[in-house]
Amino acid sequence: MDMDPQQGGQQRDQIANAMLDALYGPMLPQVKRILQQQPDAPQDAIGRVVAQLMLTTWQALSDQGSTVPPGVMIQAAMIAAQSVGEMAVKMGLLPEQGNGEPIEAGFMIALGQFGQATAQDMSPSQRARFRELIEGMREAKGRTQQGGGQAPAQRPQPQQAPRDPQGGA
């Protein structure tokens, strides 16, 4: 239901590129201001910026009569959160090493803000899918923390088998 495996990567890239175009284009002065306003809580600033990117993208698609699958939106938001985190590093708000936790926390804050802002506009099935995906991320993080911080990439995840990013010609 979430996405066609053949088109999912393309959809994600299109949504992520739209977010990054806004981030590094018209939103750049506002993003810098938001990050500078919360130097002691960079995760809150990251969350606010990423939520705005998600909402702007969601609204633009909605205005065109389109929607985006929840999994695609979440993947694109992860890319945007990483980029906002890199901005925070360049601004000296996050360290160059060990900045994963505040970026991840900002991403989760963004998902919460996005969910609150779109609750009335989203179909029940979309809300349920977002909830499933968020719960899955929380469970995966909990397993990683219990495992002594082992890299999750070393543990195969059963859902990844059908997805082949090499499918292009």
Q: How far apart are CA 46 and CA 148, in angstroms?
A: 27
Task: Give the residue from 83, 81, 85, 78 showing the smallest Cα distance to 133.
Answer: 78
pLDDT tens-place string over residues 6-30: 577 888 999 999 999 999 999 999 9
Q: Pull the structure tokens for residue 162.
A: 């059908």
Quick check: 161 pLDDT over 60? no
Q: Percentage of the chain with pLDDT > 70?
A: 83
To 5 degrees, how large is the angle CA 76–CA 148–CA 110?
A: 25
Q: How far apart are CA 115 and CA 47, in angstroms?
A: 12
Quick check: 91 pLDDT over 90? yes
Q: How many Å is the Cα radius of gyration of the chain?
A: 16
Quick check: 141 pLDDT over 70? yes
Whole-prediction pTM value?
Answer: 0.79
Quick check: 92 pLDDT over 60? yes
pLDDT at 121: 85
CB neighbourhood size of 99 (10 A):
17
CA separation, residue 138 to residues 43, 108, 142 (Å): 17, 9, 6
Q: How far apart are CA 49 and CA 135, in angstroms?
A: 22
Region 49-56: what's the mean pLDDT?
A: 96
Region 96-102: what's the mean pLDDT?
A: 92
CB neighbourhood size of 116 (10 A):
10
